[in-house]
Structure 1
Amino acid sequence: MTEKTFPTTVTLNDGNEIPQLGFGVYKLKDDECVTAVRHAIEVGYRHIDTAAIYGNEEQVGNAIRDAIAAGDVTREELFVTTKLWNDRQGAEESTRAFQESLSRLGLDYVDCYLIHWPCPRKGLAVETFSAMAKLQGFGSIRSIGVSNFYAETLDEVISGTGITPVLNQIELHPGFSQAELREVNRERGIATEAWSPIGRGRGLDDPVIRRIAEEHDRTPAQVMLRWHLQLGNIIIPKSAHPKRISENFDIFDFHLGDRDMECITSLDDSTIAGRIGPNPLTFPEE
């Protein structure tokens, strides 16, 4: 029997460790969400990423408690992330929103809490991040970070609170490699985490990806996820299909060569290039 290979970890700037490969639950609902998270934990995922706006924190919490009760995992082995939605920014409101998320999850603490979008027009990011730091001091949050932030908003939060986010979760996938923002994060000691790491499937039929996948006897999705790992990104692929959940986890026993990496990164200039989700500079429109 082949020994299962578990994800590598990334050490965050506060000393906590996060599994580099996580499981995302965007758009997973009801029993489908519970089943997917339970299967992910059985496969070996130890990092689960949700958000208040996904409407599935309760289901994620149910799956985690079921897995713990079944002896599949302990709470300490898991890294659970959730996120604060845009309309709950501000000191008092974000504190209430976090307690609501914690209640829905049914957990004593979360491993990481993120501001979901910077919402620059609101001007509440610094106040919100400061409130999150206070919650962290009480022990109900282990690490605090941000999502979809860019250089100016990162620096605003850092200078305004004296605290550097542990990670910045951003849209990042072949065709949108975000080299500049990854460097911004690196210079500040912030880990880069990629949402939509497979680009919502947009690159699965790309001839470059398919050629590399065939050469390594892997699926296109596995090649795309392996590219992320070798760049140093934290990734949270999502799927509701047990086979794909398992395949996405099976990316630790092969290596892409330098030429492979360059070819995938060069897809920034291809037909699959560009952003899929909203632009953080303008989202949400007000």
Structure 2
Amino acid sequence: MKVALTGATGFLGPGLVQGLLEAGHQVHILGRNLEQALAKLPTGVTGAVFRAGEPLAPEALGGAQAVIHLAGEPVSQRWNHDAKQRIRDSRVLGTRAVVEAMRAAGTVQRFVSASAVGYYGGAHGAEPLTEESAPGKDFLAGVCQGWEAEAQRAREVGLRTAVARMGVVLHPEGGALHTMLPPFRMGAGGRVGSGKQYVSWIHRADAVAALRFLVENPELEGPINVTAPEPVSNAEFAHTLGTVLGRPSVMHVPGFVLKAALGEMAMVALEGQRVLPRRLTEAGFSFRFPRLEEALRELLA
């Protein structure tokens, strides 16, 4: 089928494009800098211009039968008033534009929209969270609720819609692991805050495979947790990363230090969630890297 994709040049995009092509699908990307984006992707990929916050013309979808929506302002920045507005608007207004274009186009049958495990909020401790767990009340939880509400509007016109609540995606090219590697390689890594907060992680290859799985299995609708089946505490994550790198991991970053450096955004690292991929597992998805140590060894080999 023909799959339209936003966020094609982001952290997950190129791998997802490649996986879709290898599976025999056509790929049509939607992005701001279309010429630059297409130059980075395999031959045969088509595209149209899409700027978050602006309307998306139905014909820009290129007759796609499925849409995967990943685009959004990076969360990993200091959260001042303007940054919060960009984070919220890029997701809520961007998703609204995609849904309205799909409704008008009349060709789309399947919609997969990204969300995040931030939906559940922080301060859950070791409580296991599934897709049926209640939403949180902090900033990111509110963003995710608004984001998902816009995505679910697609169901009103019969589009089979899944919302992928993404965990912490691991790969040295970007994201949390990229940030952590320099201090750990210098032997200055360790737990953050209490270390008891959970990290709901997933290897990037499994994250990409899960998104493709959702596109190809339209009977899976509603929220789907895209995380590895064995979340770990922050202290265990630090210890495992140190072990894989052959470096000590005994340093400790106090919570107040992180708050001073990152402001409100520090709570993402200091609270965390223990999220389980119940629906993905029940649907038969097979994780290549279900355990953290084997995932890190493959990524850092």
Assess same fold via TM > 0.5.
Answer: no
User: When you count strand as a share of all residues, which structure comes out higher?
Assistant: 2
TM-score by length of 2: 0.33
